[in-house]
Structure 1
Amino acid sequence: EIWDYDLVTPLDFSSFSKLTKLRVLKLEVKTFKLLSESEEAVGFMDVILPSLESLTLVGSSFEEDLMPTFQKFPRLEDLVLKNCDYLGGKMNISAQGFGRLRKLDLIMVRLNELQIEEEAMPNLME
């Protein structure tokens, strides 16, 4: 669990690359950006956090649609975005997205639209 509402610099996910067995991650940070010294690392989140099963973001603001990146986590079963502020308006979940996701909990500020393609999230229960 990482909790820091005064975090000034964006959280760099490449710093998590050695945590290959990390299963649960809860972040309470004011500003959330998928930033890496190597921009390519953002595209390989499934390699950076291959064992991640539960991801929670609380009270974060973000400008980009995080769903295309989050749906790359091969073992993700729970995704919670609580009291998050999304400035982009629309999020998209592709047909191949979130194959193992069982729980999706979105309590969002300014999320105008969530587009879910057919066949996405086949195991969703909540």
Structure 2
Amino acid sequence: MEKFVVITYLFDFYQELLTSKQKDLLKGYYFENFSLGELSDEHQISRQSVFDTIKKAEQKLLDYEQKLHLFSKHQEEQLTLIKIKELCENIKHTNAENNNEIQEIITLVEGLINTI
């Protein structure tokens, strides 16, 4: 997966474990598309300090994921739910007598997919 995508996902999972400065700089850099110079001006710190803080925060996010595996578990859960939904849809099309129950399962799984 592209580094940008990975960091943004990991940020969603682990942002509360970062310092407020790390969070602010990562948000500005990754989500608001600010340059290092713009962040430097906004936070009144050197461009090098912005760069170092962002790199350290990125590494922290990667370290947290390596230890806790929250993002990888999330991806596995998503794939499992998608597979369950597909299987239910297949059963629904081949077994008309249980369509209401199967549709209810599909709806519940879709709700889980959208909230996780």
TM score, norm. by length of structure 2 = 0.20
Bigger RCO (CA 8 Å, 6+ sep): 2
Bigger-Rg structure (1/2)? 2
